[in-house]
Copies of this chain bind each other. A is one copy, B any other.
Amino acid sequence: MSERPILHEYAASANCYKIRLTAALLDQPLDRREYDIMKGETRTPAFLEQVNANGRIPVLQIGDRFLPESNAACFWLAEGTRLVPDDRFDRADMLRWMFFEQYNHEPNVATVRFWMRWVGEENFTDLQRALVPVKQEAGKAALALMDEHLALHQWFAGQSLSIADIALYAYTHVAEDSGLFSLADYPAVQAWIAKVESTPGFAPFET
């Protein structure tokens, strides 16, 4: 395929950054198209019809096909490379951490970051106000589980950095932005963040 994949994104979203980081580590050039989610640019009829009926970014476009879901896009880029383990169990275990990321981590750690930084406490609905401590507790549990794993293992799956590390790194390294988490409570996570960031080809989160 000579055509470059096109990343439809909102650059400040760490879900989009996952894909940029995967591509950077693989030396895979991407074209990028920016949408302002705060202005509803992913809910327009054109976006819903052509890019993603789910009205969300990121979407990775490969030729004339569109692939939503950040972790699926990372998988498309990385399958068959060093960023996906060769071993069958390790490969499934990598996906295990990526499903954990979407179920236990992102809806808590990333959501409260978005609410605190983009929405603003003064604009919260009653429901958001009630959910913040719930999400804070669930986010702490997710970070604690990661810390427990990383106290015993170098990486999330297999013997080297995989897209499970990329998926979890994305919102973990900015978890403190919400003011609700302190990474100092998770020393193994902190050490792993430093290791991810010293990986050759690493690209920082520039929004």
Contacts and interface: CB of A to CB of B under 8 A. Distances in A.
A75 interface: yes
Given A76-B92, A79-B88, A131-B127, A100 B68 contact: yes
Interface in A139-172: 145, 148-149
Interface string A100-111: 101110110000
Contacts of A145: 53-54
A95 B69 contact: yes
Contact of A95 (B72, B100, B107): B72
A72 B92 contact: yes
A93 interface: yes
Interface string A29-64: 000000000000000000000000110000000100
Contacts of A79: 88, 91-92
Contacts of A89: 62, 65, 67, 76
A99 interface: yes
Nearest to A77: B92
A134 interface: yes
A195 to B, nearest CB: 21
Contacts of A54: 100, 104, 145
A16 to B, nearest CB: 15
B92 A75 contact: yes
Contacts of A53: 145, 148-149
Contacts of A76: 88-89, 92
A102 B100 CA distance: 9
Contacts of A98: 99
Contact of A67 (B96, B107, B148): B96
7 contacts: A53-B145, A53-B149, A54-B104, A72-B96, A76-B88, A79-B91, A127-B134
Given A54-B145, A68-B96, A73-B92, 18 more contacts: A53-B145, A53-B148, A53-B149, A54-B100, A65-B93, A67-B93, A69-B95, A69-B100, A69-B103, A70-B99, A71-B99, A72-B92, A72-B95, A75-B92, A76-B92, A79-B88, A103-B106, A127-B130
